[in-house]
Structures are given as structure tokens and as C-alpha cells.
Homo-oligomer: A and B are copies of this chain.
Amino acid sequence: MKKPTISDLAKAAGVSVTTVSHAFSGRRHVDPETCKRIERLADQLGYHPSGMARALRSGRTGVIALASSMPFAVAAGPSRLGFLMEIAASAAMSALTRDLALCLIPPHPTAPSYGTASFDGVILVEPMLDDPLIQHFEQRRTAIVSIGTVPGRPDIPSIDLRSHETACLLLNHLAEQGCRQIAALLGTSPRTSQIESADAYAAFVAQHGTQARLIRLEEEDAENTAYRQMLDVLRTDPAVDGVFASIDAFATGAIRAAHDTDRAIPEKLCVVTRYDGLRAKLSQPPLTAVDLYLPMVAEKAVELLLNQIDGHKHSVKSDLPKLIIRASSQKRGS
């Protein structure tokens, strides 16, 4: 009835546990004859080695975690979909091909109690400045890598999301489309993506000698917040002819606002955003966005984390993001 252990199996096969262990791991030679017998009996008894015992002995659980301190509602979008989940799905695949399992650990209100589970390492998605998750895992001596650099912590290995380049791509594209008065909708949280977007925007307006219209928005209920703000902006500041949104839901909110104030897109107002998710693709009109190569980023993060766990300090660089031009900013003839 109970699960057979290695010593049950050893007893049944008339050998010692050592021999059974070696038979499976191949760390030492055991007689092929004996090997066969052990395997046959293992099958018969339904023996499977205990992951917990193995973990204790080897110090490896075979589990890595994926965490984001962003509220789930934001990270995963209104329908629990989006950025984080796209990374999660890719990372889970990458992890499994390396015989690892991927744990999803959401930011719980009453955290950091974070259960009893222990991980070999953790991938943090766009952590903030002084993110409590970092403190949590550093205390536990858990290997950390980050997707997106960590503000103020260049020592933490990360996959650079190239947010500066991304912002430049989008802003230059707007300029090429003839936009002169560009508003930026950025989140308030101190994450690299927002910081670099703000920097790029500041540099852009300085270079073009145009007026800065930097609008900081809370990321909760992003679409509605952006909608209300943009309604206001479009009414009081009719010169605005471009919107650079750092979060896809900001962009769709802006589109709704444009619609309600009778601004034709893209003729009167171009809207572009950063993350090319389902939201951007299915928006009406579809949103110009940037392919961040998230599956590749996730794959590299897993790779980097494994190096980190093994103590190698190997560094990993990610490819440059690529602009995907769609109807929300593509003017005729250009």
C-alpha cells in the first residue's frame, strides 16, 4: 500500500541500498545482470525515488520559481493574461527541457510568508527599486536572476530588456510618421522599463526641441486610468498627435479616449506601445508595438539562472527588440 522505498527494493533484490542507488545513477559500475534484476523489480513494485530525499541529500530541489512583485492584475492583465504569463509559459518549457519544474509565486498580500517550498533559484520579472522579493530571496541565499535589470543593483545578473532601445524605436517611429507633439504614458513604479522609457523620452524631447508631456499613471486598472487621463489631455491639449504608452493597457485606454474625442487613428493621433501581446495585436486598430522576444528572454533567464546556481558567473545578453508597425501608427503612403 505504502510507497516502496529504496531499501524495500534492495531487500527484494537481495542487494544493498548502495547497489540499487548505483544501479540507477550509474555513478559506479554494477553487474549488468544485477542491474536488470533491480530494474525489473523496481517496475514490479512501482518504485520511484523520492524527490524529497534526493533534494535533501543533493541540496537541489529541481524547482525554480518565477515571481513578480507587480500586482498580478497588472502583470497578467485584466483576464490574467499577458506579459508575465507569456514569460511563465516559455520559462516552464525551458525549465522542463533541463529537468526542472517552474513554480509560479504570485505576490501575496500577506507575503512574505511564502510557504515552505524551497527553490534552487528564482527568476524575478521586472523587479522594482528595493523590491522586497530581492531581500527575501537574498536572505535565503537563493540564486536570483532578473528579467529586466534591477534598478540600483547592477550586481544581480539579469536579462536586459533593452527598454531604452525599445523606447527609442517607438519614439523615432512616431517622429518618422510626422508626430511632433508626443505624450508619454508611463507607469509610476520604479522599474527599469519605466525609468529608461522616461530617460529616452526626456532625451527625445530635448533633441527635437518639443514640449515634454510626461504623464505618470498608476498601473492598477491601467486601461481606465489611461482612458480618463487621455480624455483630459486630448481636450485640453489638442496639439498632441502621438502617444507613447509604456504599458499595453495604457495604449488601449488612449485609443478609447481618442475614439470618444473623435480623433482618427492614425491620421490625427498615432498610438504606440511597448509589449506586443495579444492586447496589442487584437486592439482596434491593431497597435504598433515591439517584439521583445519574450520566449527567448525566458529561455535565457533559465539558462542564466542555472549558471548562477552552479556558481558560474556566465553572463547572457539578449537580442535587440524589434519594432512591429501596425495600423495604430502607420499613416498612408509611408
Binding site for B on A (CB under 8 A): 3, 46, 48-56, 59-63, 65, 72, 76-77, 79-82, 85-86, 88-90, 92-93, 96-97, 99-106, 108, 111, 113-118, 139-141, 277-279, 281-284, 295
Contacts of A62 in B (CB 8 A): 115-117
Question: Are B96 and A51 closer than 8 Å at their CB atoms?
Answer: no
Contacts of A63 in B (CB 8 A): 63, 101, 103, 117
Contacts of A89 in B (CB 8 A): 72, 76, 80-81, 85, 104, 106
Question: Are B281 and A79 closer than 8 Å at their CB atoms?
Answer: yes
Contacts of A279 in B (CB 8 A): 278, 282
Contacts of A79 in B (CB 8 A): 86, 277-278, 281
- In the bound assembly, the distance between CA atoms of A82 and B86 in angstroms comes to 10
Contacts of A55 in B (CB 8 A): 52, 55-56, 116
How many identical subunits does the complex contain? 2
Min CB distance A85 to B, Å, is: 4
When A and B form their complex, which 3 residue pairs have the shortest distance between CB atoms, in order from nearest?
A: A51-B118, A282-B282, A80-B89
Given contacts A277-B81, A281-B79, contact A93 B116 (CB under 8 A): no
- In the bound assembly, the distance between CA atoms of A117 and B50 in angstroms comes to 9
Smallest CB gap from A63: residue in B: B117
Min CB distance A5 to B, Å, is: 12
Contacting residue for A92 out of B56, B104, B117, CB 8 A = B104
Given contacts A52-B52, A55-B52, A56-B53, contact A101 B80 (CB under 8 A): no
Question: What are 14 of the A-B contact pairs (CB < 8 Å)?
Answer: A50-B56, A52-B56, A55-B55, A55-B116, A79-B277, A80-B85, A81-B86, A81-B278, A88-B104, A96-B105, A97-B108, A101-B114, A282-B283, A284-B284
Smallest CB gap from A48: residue in B: B140
Contacting residue for A46 out of B104, B118, B139, CB 8 A = B139
Smallest CB gap from A107: residue in B: B96
Contacts of A61 in B (CB 8 A): 51-52, 117
Question: Are A118 and B81 closer than 8 Å at their CB atoms?
Answer: no
Question: Are A86 and B80 closer than 8 Å at their CB atoms?
Answer: yes
Min CB distance A245 to B, Å, is: 17
